[in-house]
Amino acid sequence: MRVAFNAAFEDGVRNINNASAALAEAQRQLSSGRRIDSPSDDPLGTMTAISEHASLSRVDAYSSAAGDAYSRLALADTIMSDIVTQLTAAQSSALSARGSNITTAQRQAVANEILAIRDAIFSDVNTQLQGAYLFSGSNVLAAPYTRVGQGFSGYQGDATAARIDVSNGRDVAATFDGQAILQGSDPQHILDALTDLAASILAADPVGTQNGVDAITRAFDRATLAQSRIGNDLRSLDDVRMQLVSVRQTAVSRLSKVEDADLAEASARLAQSETAYRAALSAVANTLKLSLLDFLK
């Protein structure tokens, strides 16, 4: 076989270029930490990476929504606890005002206490978070109840409580139906009922007082039911948040497998390709040096 000078030279240069490219690739992977330089290096891996990046962002968005929902629910839980406490206090005060041996001054004190409790409940139910009322259902810009003269308006929100998604297929309450808590199927809401109860206590009206106590009992039941629902949502959120952490870890690990260079392998390949590069350089330098011309005198 004839070996032409140019062919040998071009072969040598091509081998040097190949070895140099392998060295550069190993160096790139090691220094950048990235396995894929161009999508064409691994089209399927690129598609997976795009999908996993989106999954990660989705998980982060859910985590943020879950965090937001948690603070809302925690606030709602606190408010409901307070309402339950207030209703308990109102009930016990109303019960203490029953009987014939209660003085007018005592009745007055109990009536005042009932009215103070009513105002506290009114304040609780009108709590706002970031400018939106928590207990107006979806009508969050309207206060659930407003004062009208000495009394109160009817419910100004709606019955549709908004919910927010905290993971795929799971949602929790973001707002609450104030009417369902303060009125339910009663003819009047608890604020008016407490106003009437205070008047009945002052007037030593046992029927009115009993009606008031009954209204408080029903309101108590509704409030505890609402509170237990909030509690359920909070517990569900705890589960979701733990799940999201685990899903995130899995997505990060899958993404890393696709995108990140295996540093140990890249180091080994760097050493290997460096040796190959040296060998190619040395082989070309040595073989091209030799010629019959060296022996012609």
Partner 1 sequence: MSDLFRMLRSAAHSLETQRYALDVTGQNIANVNTQGYVRRTVDFAEIPPQDPWSAGGGVDIAAVQAARAPLIEGRLRYEQVLSAHDSAIADHLEVILGGLGQPGASLDAALTRFYTTYGALASSPTSATARQQVLVEAQALATTFSDISTQLQNARGAADREIRNTLGEINALAAELAELNAGITSSAPANVEALRDRQAVVLSSLSALADIDVIHRADGALDVAIGNGRALVVGDRHYDLTASGTPPLGFATILTNGADVTTDITSEMTGGRIGALLQIRDTTVPSYQQQLDQLAHGIVTDINTLTTSGFDLDGNAGLALFNPLAGVPGAAAGITVNAAVAGNVRRVVAAGTPASGNNDVARAIAALQDSNVSGGSARPVDAWGALVSRIATDARGAKDAAAVHDDVVQQLRTLRDQISGVSIDEEAAMLMKFQRSYEANARFFQVADRALEQLMNLVS
Is 104 a binding residue for partner 1 by CB under 8 A? The answer is: no
69 is an interface residue for partner 1 by CB under 8 A = yes
Q: Does residue number 128 form part of the binding site for partner 1 (CB under 8 A)?
A: no
Tell whether residue 64 is a contact of partner 1 (CB under 8 A). Answer: yes
Does 4 bind partner 1 (CB under 8 A)? Our answer is: yes
Q: Does 105 bind partner 1 (CB under 8 A)?
A: no
CB-based contacts of 39: which residues, under 8 Å, 6+ apart? 46
Number of residues that bind partner 1 (CB under 8 A): 61
Q: What is the 3-state secondary structure (H, E, C) of the chain?
A: CCCCHHHHHHHHHHHHHHHHHHHHHHHHHHHHCECCCCHHHCHHHHHHHHHHHHHHHHHHHHHHHHHHHHHHHHHHHHHHHHHHHHHHHHHHHHHHCCCCCCCHHHHHHHHHHHHHHHHHHHHHHCCEECCEECCECCCCCCCCCCEECCEECCCCCCCCCCEEEEECCEEEECCCEHHHHHCCCCCCCHHHHHHHHHHHHHCCCHHHHHHHHHHHHHHHHHHHHHHHHHHHHHHHHHHHHHHHHHHHHHHHHHHHHHHECCHHHHHHHHHHHHHHHHHHHHHHHHHHHCCHHHHCC
Stretch that binds partner 1, among 4-12, 73-81, 242-250, 278-286 (CB under 8 A): 4-12
Q: Is 252 in the site for partner 1 (CB under 8 A)?
A: no
Largest CA distance in the chain: 142
Q: Is 139 one of the binding residues for partner 1 (CB under 8 A)?
A: yes
Which member of 77, 158, 205, 274 binds partner 1 (CB under 8 A)?
A: 158
| Residue 38 makes contact with partner 1 by CB under 8 A | yes
Assess 57 for contact with partner 1 (CB under 8 A): yes
State the nearest-atom distance from the C-beta of 53 to partner 1, in Å.
3
User: Closest approach of Cβ 111 to partner 1, in Å?
Assistant: 36
Q: Hey, which residues between 199 and 238 contact partner 1 (CB under 8 A)?
A: none
Q: Which of 101, 130, 185, 286 binds partner 1 (CB under 8 A)?
A: 130
CB atoms within 10 A of CB 289: 8
- Using CB under 8 A, which of 138, 156, 210, 243 touches partner 1? 138
Which position among 164, 199, 204, 283 is part of the footprint of partner 1 (CB under 8 A)?
164
Report in angstroms how near the CB of residue 237 gets to partner 1 at its nearest: 13
* CB-nearer residue toward partner 1: 149 or 295: 295
Nearest Cα neighbor of 178 from 231, 121, 228 is: 121
The correct pick among 92, 168, 249, 272 for binding partner 1 (CB under 8 A) is 168
Q: Of 20, 27, 46, 211, which one interacts with partner 1 (CB under 8 A)?
A: 46
Judge contact between 142 and 108, C-beta under 8 A.
no
Q: Which of 148, 149, 144, 153 is nearest to 126 (CA)?
A: 144
**Between 7 and 203, CB nearer to partner 1:** 7
By CB under 8 A, name the binding residues for partner 1. 1-7, 10-11, 14, 38-44, 46-54, 56-58, 60-62, 64-65, 68-69, 130-132, 136-142, 158, 160, 162-165, 168, 171, 174-175, 259, 291-293, 296
